[in-house]
Amino acid sequence: MKEVCSVPRAGISNRNQQDSLPHHVAMIMDGNGRWAMQQGLPRTAGHKKGVDAVRELVKYCRHRGIFYLTLFAFSSENWSRPQEEVRVLTDLLCASIDTEARLLIDNDIKLSVIGDISRFPDSLQKSIERTCQQTLNNCSMTLTIALNYGGQWDIQNACKSIARMVESGSLAAAEISQQLIESHLCTHDLPDPDLFIRTGGEIRISNFILWQLAYTELFFTDTYWPDFDVDCFECALNDYAERQRRFGNIECQIKESA
């Protein structure tokens, strides 16, 4: 696959400098297993290396002024992987949430988790709760990790809770708005992502935040997650800065409102 960032985008510039940096970046960190196999290592070595890439990216986003970073770390479908890989992944999650808590506190980063964490071991659930609590009042950046998350699951839950309100008579079906649906999604306290990045070469969303990506700018790269560094991230940011987001309008309307 050709790197999108190497293709110059002709004639279309962004509205202003402020808009050229995404406020919210969402990422599918893919390619750990293939990275490891390429090095002749077991797949789990790729997950271990992937943790280092997460740490560097979080630090860089904080430094760069990205306000929201949302990372897909474990999907609701990933349970069907070999048991040993799932075990290594949950152990790694547990260890890294504990060890990286200091980094989050020192950098004024709030940790939040979306997804159904009740299926994870108690130790991981406790680490998540402790670190989320410790960083609750941090306000320079919000790091959201999607764990046992699925976009369809999220929408299904929102439907169920809205249906219960209709059933109980506290809401009329005609009152169901897009805003109401959004307020029942796990991401209700996050703005929609401006930029979505998927590493690892696959051009798909894999049941990540489906509703929320409606107008997000998409960026795909062949780079495997463990190799995704600051330069790769800058490449995605540069590509984003050249895009014109029209949200259904036409180009001259965007220029007028700039």
Binding site for ligand IPE (CB under 6 A): 28-34, 72-75, 78, 89, 200, 202, 204, 206, 225
Closer CB to ligand IPE, 32 or 221, in the complex: 32
Q: Contact region for Mg ion (CB under 5 A) — 25-33, 153-161, 208-216, 231-239?
A: 25-33
Q: Identify what 29 binds: Mg ion, ligand IPE, none; CB under 5 to 8 Å per kind.
A: ligand IPE
Please state the φ and ψ torsions of residue 92, each to the nearest 5 degrees: -65, -40
Q: In this complex, which beta carbon is closest to ligand IPE, that of residue 116 or of residue 242?
A: 116
- Indicate the residue among 27 and 162 with the shorter CB distance to ligand IPE: 27
Helix (H, G, I), strand (E, B), or coil: what is residue 198? strand
Closest residue (Cβ) to ligand IPE?
A: 33
Is residue 207 flagged as an active site residue?
no
Which residues 6+ apart lie within 8 Å of 158 measured at CB? 181, 184, 185
Give residue 248's region: left, alpha or beta (phi > 0; psi -120 to 50): left
Using an 8 Å Cβ cutoff, are 54 and 144 in contact? Answer: no
Smallest distance, Mg ion to C-beta of residue 47, A: 11
The Cα-based distances of 68 to 95, 142, 224 in angstroms read 23, 5, 22
Binding segment toward Mg ion, per CB under 5 A, in 6-14, 22-30, 99-107, 212-220 = 22-30
Number of H helices, E strands in the chain: 8, 6
Q: Is 30 a catalytic residue?
A: yes
Catalytic choice (14, 19, 78, 91): 78
**Residue among 89 and 162 whose Cβ is closer to ligand IPE:** 89
**Coil, strand or helix at 218:** strand
Pick from 24, 25, 27, 30 the residue near Mg ion by CB under 5 A: 30
Q: Is there binding between residue 100 and Mg ion (CB under 5 A)?
A: no
Neighbour-count burial for 136-161, b at 16+ CB within 10 Å, e otherwise = eebeebbbbbbbbbbbebbbeebeee
Least distance from C-beta 43 to ligand IPE, angstroms?
Answer: 6
**Could you list the active site residues?**
30, 78
Q: Which spans of this chain sit near Mg ion (rule: CB under 5 A)?
A: 30
